[in-house]
Structure 1
Amino acid sequence: MKQIILFLALALTLVSCGTRKGYFSIEGRFLNLNQGEFYVYSTDGLINGIDTIKVNGGRFAREIPCTRRGTLILVFPNFSEQPIFAEPGEGVDIKADASHLKQMEVTGTDDNKLMTAFRQATAMASPPETVSRAEHFIRDNAGSPVAIYLLRKYFIKNDASADLKKAKELLEIIAKEQPQNGNVTRLKNNLNILSNANVGSRLPRIKATDIAGNTITEGNFKGKTSIIFTWATWNYDSENMKRRINSLIQQANGNYAALGVNVDASRKTCEDAVKRDNIHFPNISDGMLFDSKLMATLGLHAVPENIIIDTKGKIIAKNVAIDDLEKYIK
């Protein structure tokens, strides 16, 4: 009987001291954010859609289903994003000042400690210095998922520092350390597509169905200066861009075309937003979020991002600031 009691006590202790099997826990506390919420999504399909984490009294806790290693992105009220690297049965503790998230400290797993060290080392660094440190980090830690995240952020997605040649070089180093990682294989394929959807190249062939049931191809943009952009109802900047583009199109007398690629989890969410804002251009909402094949074909990976196409179907700019859009119409 005593042995049974000891066994049960030990089992209860193990359960209480760790995260449940098949889950990943996120908990912590914020300064300067007593009440509110932030969001979490995955860049590699670990979770579907957007999840919400509530903050009460500056503290928060959440268990997320997790059956494999993956990358989660936390989206904060100021629209900044920070990565968390998940592992089944593990958890992290987050400490941060909500007004200085670049110095956020995440403990609990080795990968998150690595990202914390990089985050804090570059908190006050200039953009060129940050890119240089990212390259050194990737070379020194090619076996970590942090290396993949930094590669995407600083050598692929960042229009100011995008360097596809360097990205391919660094990805080969990562591939040698992570030969069985399917995300690395997909990233290789995306890089090849990006090379064909870069500034100076022609708009790739596309085929998609908008929320009204119409087929959209590259032919929809023939003879018009056009913009294709990503947006989501949870991202203020992209919502603002959507409304500004709508206004510009109405003033352009049919000489300008646009296509919105919505990454909300629910198509109805997209439809409601389009109806609410009386949007006059087509929108795609395929429910694939950041795994959208259309986004991959167009070299779009984040929200908001955009590409500008001239009247001959040539990509002339990427990730144009919202205040600069009008000059492309004129």
Structure 2
Amino acid sequence: MNYYNSKLSYNLFKKKKSMKKIVLITTFIALSMLSANAQTDKGFKINGDLKNYTNDYVYIGWWYDGKLNKDSAKVTDGKFSFKGSVVHPIRIGMSQKRAGDFLNLFLENSDIQIVGDMKSLNNVKITGTATEDEYDAFQNITKKARTDYMEVLYKRDEYKKRKDTTGFYSFDDELTNVKNKYIQSQVAYIKNHPKSYVSLWLLPRINQMGISYESLKDVYASIDDVLKKTPIGVSVAKGLAKRSVTAIGAKAADFTVASLDGKNVSLADYKGRYVLLDFWSSNCVPCRRENPNIIKNYNKFKSEKFEIIGVSVDTDREAWKKAIEKDKLPWIQLSDLKGWKSEVAVKYNVNALPANFLIDPDGNIIAKNLKGKELQSYLSKLFSK
């Protein structure tokens, strides 16, 4: 998309003979301009002109502080308009029939023009919003990393459509690599643009993509204090505080949960040993695929005061039991069968599987989410000291 900033020109005044008149007129014009700017600051105006728009209404919506804001406008010959105000620049969606955004943009308190054709949405021009210009620059800066990431996702999904699970999961390592590069490209943008509302918008996105606690904490510290005070900024700060409980270096939270045979087991029972706290479930395909690798490492290092505690977020005892037997898991298995409300999962802020935490003999978390070759490499270095 191409953008430009419209400029207004004024015929300020005609030549006057009296200096006094010039001063008075200049003062009047300055006050008028301040007044005009004040009006702009009070709200936004969106004027749209979209060819081949076939619905009677167009809708916009955006989330702010946990509340969905929405509005609609009558469309006549492709033309429509909105008026309102926002607290600060914010990403919004524009849709037809209240379903599926066909256009997204940054809304701010300014005069915004949207011109284009519904048959060529990639060429729609959005002007009058400086934050959208910043977003366009961000898209250009991160284009390669984003494209690489999306291409791997597309290739992997082709195998999913064919129900080829082997092919689908063969992309795991490549996907992790390109995803991390895409996350880092966004982190770099945020650090280089600490006052941008595009940077603020990116924070929850990279969090959802799986950025580490340490990296998110670092990039959050780099943004401007004004952004930190917004609802998004406050929410990210709360999330960081919650995640700090399971940060590397934090003390692992103790727990007591029943094992498969009904005995109560506590993390404290394993003090003095290295423990891999492994979260999984019987219906988690990536977890089940990783189990042979965990078994191999367990057998290799169990003589080094290394133990594994499996914690399942299952709700079905029989399914859990069958999965343990089928995968031939030799270490202790725990579950309160409460699913995602599991006491241990909640304490460790686990909201995606597989997940694991490596805990040292003193009860400190020293690593997280080790899998594949990374697990073997880490344990080999740890026990070669």
Amino acid at match of 1:123: R
Structure 1 CA distance for aligned equivalents of residues 196 and 244 of structure 2: 23
Aligned partner (choices 262, 274, 277) of residue 312 of structure 2: 262
- The equivalent residue for 2:151 is none
Q: 2:255 is matched with which residue: 198, 202, 206?
A: 206
What residue is the counterpart of 1:225 in the other structure? 274
**Is 2:172 the partner of 1:151?**
no
Q: Name the TM-score, length of structure 2 as normaliser.
A: 0.44
How far apart in 1 are the matches of 2:367 and 2:197?
33
Do structure 1's residue 140 and structure 2's residue 197 form an aligned pair?
Answer: yes
* Compared CA separation, residues 178 and 198, structure 1 to 2 (3 A): closer
Picking from 313, 325, 330, the partner of 2:375 is 325
**2:293 is equivalent to residue 244 of structure 1:** yes
The structure 1 residue matched to 2:147, chosen from 124, 129, 135, is: 124
Indicate conservation of the 8 Å contact 2:304/2:383, yes or no: no
Specify the alignment match of 2:335 in structure 1.
Answer: 284
Deviations 1:234-280, CA, capped at 9 Å, x for gaps = 54432233333234434524832112233456454333211222222
**Aligned-partner residue type, residue 274 of structure 2:** T
**Counterparts in 2 of 1:220 and 1:194: CA distance versus 1, 3 Å:** farther
- Asked if 1:192 is matched to 2:215, the reply is no
Amino acid at match of 2:257: A
Instruction: Say if 1:174 and 1:220 are closer, same or farther in 2 by CA, change over 3 A.
Output: farther
8 A Cα contact 1:147 1:174, kept in partner = no
The 3 A distance-change label for structure 1 pair 226 and 173 is farther
User: Which one of 299, 324, 334 corresponds to residue 274 of structure 1?
Assistant: 324
Q: Quick one: which of 299, 302, 305 aligns to 2:355?
A: 305
Distance 2:352 2:337 in 1: 16
Structure 1 residues 276 and 299: alpha-carbon distance in aligned structure 2, compared to 1, 3 A threshold: same
Uncovered stretches (5+) of structure 2, i.e. residues with no partner:
1-54, 56-67, 70-92, 106-121, 123-131, 149-180
Deviations 1:53-105 (A, max 9, x none): xxxxxxxxxxxxxxx99xxxxxxxxxxxxxxx9xxx9544xxxxxxxxxxxxx
Measured in 2, the distance between the counterparts of 1:198 and 1:165 equals 13
Amino acid at match of 2:368: K
- Per-residue CA deviations over 1:20-74 (Å, capped at 9, x if unaligned) read xxxxxxxxxxxxxxxxxxxxxxxxxxxxxxxxxxxxxxxxxxxxxxxx99xxxxx
| Aligned counterpart for 2:215 among listed residues 136, 139, 162 | 162
Q: Which amino acid aligns with 2:216?
A: D
How many angstroms apart in 1 are the aligned matches of 2:351 and 2:223?
Answer: 19
The amino acid across from 1:124 in the alignment is T
The alignment covers a number of residue pairs equal to 230
- Using the alignment, how far apart are the partners of 1:191 and 1:215 within structure 2? 32
Alpha-carbon shift at residue 215 of structure 1 (Å) = 2.8
Aligned Cα root-mean-square deviation (Å): 4.9
Residue matched to 1:8: none
